[in-house]
C-alpha cells in the first residue's frame, strides 16, 4: 500500500534522508521511529506529496507521489506535525471547509462530517471555535479532517505530541481501532506509543533506515544472549550458586526480593535451545520452589539504543 524505494532528499547540501527503502502492507499500522531530526517528517511529507524527493521513488495506493500526486491525495489522509487550524472557525465549519477543499461532493459533505464527528467524539464541541478547544480536542479535529475523504492510507506525524497521558492513551485507542480498516504510517519518537499500537516498526537515524521488522523479530536478531526471569523461593546464596553452575549459563543476578525467602533472578545464557527445562529441573532437584519462570526479550528502548549505537560505531 506504501512503497518507498531509495528515497533521498537534500536541502541545499544537507541530506535529510538518504536511500530510504521500505513498504507498508494493506491494513498494517507501522510505527516510524526516530529521534527529532532523524528524517521522519521529511519522509512523510514526500509520501504526502508536500515535498518532492531529490532522488528515488514512492507510491501510495499504487500511485506515484510525483507523477500522480492528485490520485495519491484522493486516497490519503494526512495529519502533519504542525497542523494548520483556523482558530476563528467553529470545529464544524472547519471540517466542512476541509471537506470542500478535498473535493468531497456537496451532497456527501454532511454525512461525512457527521460520521467523523461521531467516530472521534466531537459532538460536544462542533459549535465551539477551534481556538478555544483543548489540545486533545484540537488533535481530534486534526484526525477528523484526515478522515473526511475516507482514505485508504493514513499518515500521522506525531499525532499525540503535547497531549497529557490520558489524552494520549485515548488517541492511541482511536488509532488502533482503525487498524485493518486502513493502512497507517505513524511517526513518533515515543517508544511506548509504537509498542502499544504498531504491528511493525521502522527505525531511522541520521536520515538512514536502520531496521524494519516487528519488535519481537528485532529483539531476536539483536539479543546476543537469552534472558530468563525466575522467581524462586530458596536460600539466596545457594540458588545463585546452583544456577550459575548450569552449563551454558553466563551470569545470574538477583533482581529484587519478592518476600521472605523468595527472590527474582535474571539468568543470562548462551543462545542455545530453550534453557527453561534445565533451570526448572535444577530448582526442583534442589528442593526449592519456582514461583514464576518466563523468557525476557529486549524491549523497544533497548532495541533502539542498540541499533543507534551500532550505527554510530559504523560512522566513527
Q: Over range 185-194, report the average pLDDT.
A: 82
The CA distance from 114 to 129, in Å, is 17
> What is the CATH number for 280?
3.30.70.1340
| Mean pLDDT across the chain | 89
Local confidence band at 304 (pLDDT 50, 70, 90 cut-offs): confident
Local confidence band at 216 (pLDDT 50, 70, 90 cut-offs): confident
pTM score, two decimals?
A: 0.77
Last-in-domain residue among 164, 187, 220: 220
Helices (H), the chain: 40-47, 69-74, 91-101, 106-119, 135-147, 165-176, 191-197, 215-222, 236-244, 276-285, 300-315
| Burial class of residue 82 in the structure, from the number of CB atoms within 10 Å of its CB (0-12 exposed, 13-18 middle, 19+ buried) | exposed
- Looking at residue 316, its pLDDT comes to 62
Domain total of the chain: 2
More confident call, 39 vs 306 = 39
Are 72 and 119 in the same domain? yes
- Looking at residue 275, its pLDDT comes to 85
Are 196 and 181 in the same domain? yes
The CA distance from 316 to 311, in Å, is 9
Instruction: Provide the domain limits for residue 174.
Output: 2-220
Residue 313 has pLDDT above 80, yes or no: no
The pLDDT tens digits of the residues spanning 121-130 come to 899 999 999 9
Are 162 and 144 in the same domain? yes
Q: Over range 254-263, report the average pLDDT.
A: 88
Percentage of the chain surpassing pLDDT 90?
A: 58
Are 114 and 263 in the same domain? no
Are 245 and 265 in the same domain? yes
Local confidence band at 177 (pLDDT 50, 70, 90 cut-offs): confident
- Looking at residue 238, its pLDDT comes to 94
> What is the CATH number for 200?
3.40.50.300
Distance of CA 287 to the CA centre of its chain: 45
Are 287 and 147 in the same domain? no
The CA distance from 203 to 33, in Å, is 5
Are 138 and 213 in the same domain? yes
Are 159 and 272 in the same domain? no
In a domain, 268, yes or no: yes
- Looking at residue 208, its pLDDT comes to 92
Are 33 and 132 in the same domain? yes
Amino acid at each position: 500500500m506504501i512503497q518507498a524505494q531509495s528515497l533521498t532528499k537534500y536541502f541545499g547540501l544537507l541530506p535529510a534522508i538518504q536511500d530510504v527503502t521500505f513498504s507498508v502492507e494493506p491494513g498494517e499500522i507501522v510505527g516510524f521511529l526516530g529521534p527529532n531530526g532523524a528524517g521522519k517528517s521529511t519522509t512523510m511529507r514526500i509520501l504526502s506529496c508536500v515535498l518532492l524527493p531529490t532522488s528515488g521513488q514512492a507510491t501510495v495506493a499504487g500511485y506515484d507521489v510525483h507523477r500522480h500526486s492528485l490520485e495519491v491525495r484522493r486516497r490519503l489522509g494526512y495529519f502533519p506535525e504542525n497542523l494548520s487550524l483556523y482558530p476563528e472557525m467553529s470545529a464544524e465549519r472547519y471540517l466542512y471547509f476541509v471537506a470542500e477543499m478535498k473535493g468531497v461532493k456537496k451532497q456527501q459533505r454532511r454525512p461525512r462530517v457527521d460520521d467523523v464527528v461521531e467516530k472521534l467524539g466531537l459532538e460536544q464541541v462542533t459549535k465551539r471555535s477551534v481556538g478555544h478547544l483543548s489540545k486533545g480536542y484540537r488533535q481530534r479535529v486534526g484526525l477528523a479532517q484526515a478522515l473526511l475523504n475516507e482514505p485508504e492510507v493514513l499518515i500521522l506525524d506525531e499525532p499525540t505530541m503535547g497531549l497529557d497521558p490520558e489524552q494520549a492513551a485515548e488517541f492511541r485507542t482511536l488509532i488502533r481501532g482503525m487498524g485493518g480498516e486502513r493502512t497507517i504510517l505513524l511517526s513518533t519518537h515515543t517508544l511506548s506509543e509504537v509498542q502499544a499500537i504498531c504491528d511493525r516498526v521502522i527505525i531511522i537515524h541520521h536520515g538512514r533506515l536502520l531496521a524494519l521488522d516487528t519488535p519481537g523479530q528485532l529483539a531476536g536478531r539483536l539479543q546476543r544472549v537469552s534472558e530468563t526471569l525466575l522467581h524462586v523461593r530458596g536460600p539466596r546464596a545457594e540458588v545463585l550458586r546452583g544456577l550459575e553452575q548450569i552449563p551454558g549459563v553466563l551470569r545470574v543476578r538477583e533482581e529484587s526480593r519478592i518476600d521472605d525467602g523468595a527472590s527474582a533472578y535474571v539468568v543470562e545464557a548462551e543462545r542455545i535451545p530453550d534453557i527453561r527445562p534445565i533451570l526448572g529441573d535444577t530448582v526442583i532437584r534442589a528442593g526449592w520452589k519456582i514461583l514464576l519462570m518466563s523468557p525476557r526479550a529486549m524491549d523497544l528502548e533497548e532495541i533502539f539504543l542498540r541499533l543507534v549505537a551500532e550505527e554510530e560505531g559504523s560512522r566513527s
